[in-house]
Amino acid sequence: MKRSQQAGEGEAPETQAAVLDRWMGGKTGAQKEGMEWIDPHVHILPPRRMAGLVRWVRKFTPGFPVSEEITPEEIVSALRESGIRLFFNLVFPLWEEETEELNRFNRDLCSGIPEAVPFGSLHIETPNKEKETRRCIEEYGFLGMKLHPYAQRFPAFDDDMRPMFEVLNEHRRPFLVHTGFDVFYGMYMDLQKMERVLGEYPGMQVVAVHALFPRFRLAHRLLSEYDNFWLDMTNSISCMRIYEDLKAKGDPRPPVAESLEVEDVEENYPWFRRLFEDFSHRILYGTDFPVGFGYHHALWEDLRYFGFGEAIERDLLGGAAHNLLERCGFGHLMPR
């Protein structure tokens, strides 16, 4: 994968090495152990948006080595090298004016990539949300819809979004929505509204991306009470490993600890493990590739660190995604 010439400039050698090691390509431990990995959280975007996303990540990730000029071909090549047999490609408009164009981009891109499963998106200012959602689901054949309310800067569960919910509920399709990391983004979600929507639209499969981090106790309760509630652990498992490392070293809390919401993590820690013990069949493991916490080999190691056991690992890497696809009538997409 193309690397940024600026990667690591001005950073301590050990910091550079740690970052670059997570971004070395190659096979994953999952491949070597014969585990299938379906990645439900990948971002292949138009060049301008991709460059902007990389620049944003570089602001808070010293030494981040991904180039602003990374191409779809490079991303797909890296996914294949890591043995990713299927991935969800997620887009979301930052302005209403790019909504239709971005959904068309994802349609055209994914039509030429056998492993890619496209999701559509809306903006809160999209004038006819039902029409655009139906276009994505019924005409383009997308699996579902995705919102990133913190990046898009509007409430995901606002009443204005009900036309989208109604279409997804009608077709029993997934709604992937960013949740958690509130302190990092400086924004907060109305979780009571989210729960109300869960109850009112039982056919819509709500996937809480980042698993409400760090509100794992709430996530466990919602999984217990709502059969249409799912989790995607993108970035959350890596952050929990960072938390474990900080705790083991006994270091004073560095600046990163604030965005990790350490006190809330400590309170929710027992529920983090209970999530996997009780509901691994509804927990997916995405990556935010290519702008998450590293290549898939590093994210596999983050998962393996916790010693959940093979059955839970198989659920997170592919079993839960298979269950979601089957529920939505897309079981035929599973790799053979």
Structural domain includes residue 333:
no
Angle of the 236-249 helix axis to the 262-279 helix axis, nearest 10: 120
> Average pLDDT over the chain, rounded to whole?
90
Of 8-22, 164-178, 285-299, the range with the lowest mean pLDDT is: 8-22
Cα(253)–Cα(243) distance, integer angstroms: 10
- The CATH number linked to 220 is 3.20.20.140
- H and E: helices and strands count for the chain: 17, 8
- Residue 29's pLDDT band (boundaries 50, 70, 90)? confident
Structural domain includes residue 304:
yes
Q: Can you give the pTM of this predicted structure?
A: 0.92
Q: Give the residue with greater pLDDT, 2 vs 41.
A: 41
Structural domain includes residue 129:
yes
- Cα distances from 284 to residues 7, 111, 132, 232, 257, in angstroms, run 30, 24, 27, 5, 25
Tell me: pLDDT of 209 over 60: yes
Q: What number is the average pLDDT over the span 162-178? A: 98
Contact 4, 65 (CB under 8 A): yes
Question: CB burial class (10 A; 0-12, 13-18, 19+) of residue 334?
Answer: middle
DSSP class per residue in 176-205: EEE---HHHHT----HHHHHHHHHH-TTSE
Strand partners, 231: 208, 283
Tell me: pLDDT of 18 over 70: no
Q: Give the residue with greater pLDDT, 11 vs 31.
A: 31
SS3 175: strand
Residue 66, Cα to own-chain centre: how many angstroms? 18
Q: What is the pLDDT of residue 14?
A: 43
- Residue 19's pLDDT band (boundaries 50, 70, 90)? low
Of 185-189, 200-204, 274-278, 324-328, the range with the lowest mean pLDDT is: 185-189
Q: What is the pLDDT of residue 259?
A: 64
Q: What is the pLDDT of residue 84?
A: 96
pLDDT digits (tens, 9 = 90+) for 108-146: 999 999 999 999 999 999 999 999 999 999 999 999 999
Of 24-38, 117-131, 206-220, 257-271, the range with the lowest mean pLDDT is: 257-271
Domain hosting residue 227, numbered range: 28-326
Cα(312)–Cα(147) distance, integer angstroms: 28
Structural domain includes residue 305:
yes
Cα(115)–Cα(87) distance, integer angstroms: 6
Conformational region of residue 172, where left means phi above 0, alpha means psi within -120 to 50, and beta covers everything else: left
Q: What is the pLDDT of residue 328?
A: 96
pLDDT digits (tens, 9 = 90+) for 229-277: 999 999 999 999 988 988 887 765 555 555 667 788 889 999 999 999 9
pLDDT digits (tens, 9 = 90+) for 55-71: 999 988 878 899 999 99
Q: What is the pLDDT of residue 7?
A: 42
Structural domain includes residue 261:
yes
Percent of the chain with pLDDT over 70: 91
SS3 322: helix
Cα(181)–Cα(33) distance, integer angstroms: 32
Structural domain includes residue 210:
yes
Q: What is the pLDDT of residue 6?
A: 45
- Residue 2's pLDDT band (boundaries 50, 70, 90)? low
Q: What is the pLDDT of residue 220?
A: 98
In one-letter notation, the amino acid at residue 214 is P
Tell me: pLDDT of 219 over 90: yes
Nearest CA to 234 out of 182, 296, 152 is that of 296
Using the 8-state DSSP alphabet, how is residue 308 labeled? Answer: -
Domain count of the fold of the chain = 1
Angle of the 236-249 helix axis to the 296-305 helix axis, nearest 10: 60
Contact 118, 109 (CB under 8 A): yes
Cα(92)–Cα(122) distance, integer angstroms: 7
Structural domain includes residue 21:
no
Q: What is the pLDDT of residue 336?
A: 66
Instruction: Report helix, strand and coil shares of the chain as percent, to nearest 5.
Output: 55, 10, 35
Q: What is the pLDDT of residue 257?
A: 54
Q: What is the pLDDT of residue 8?
A: 42
Contact 102, 135 (CB under 8 A): no
Nearest CA to 117 out of 86, 78, 138 is that of 86
Structural domain includes residue 220:
yes
Tell me: pLDDT of 11 over 60: no
Measured on CA atoms in the order 235, 238, 244, 245, is the torsion positive or negative?
negative
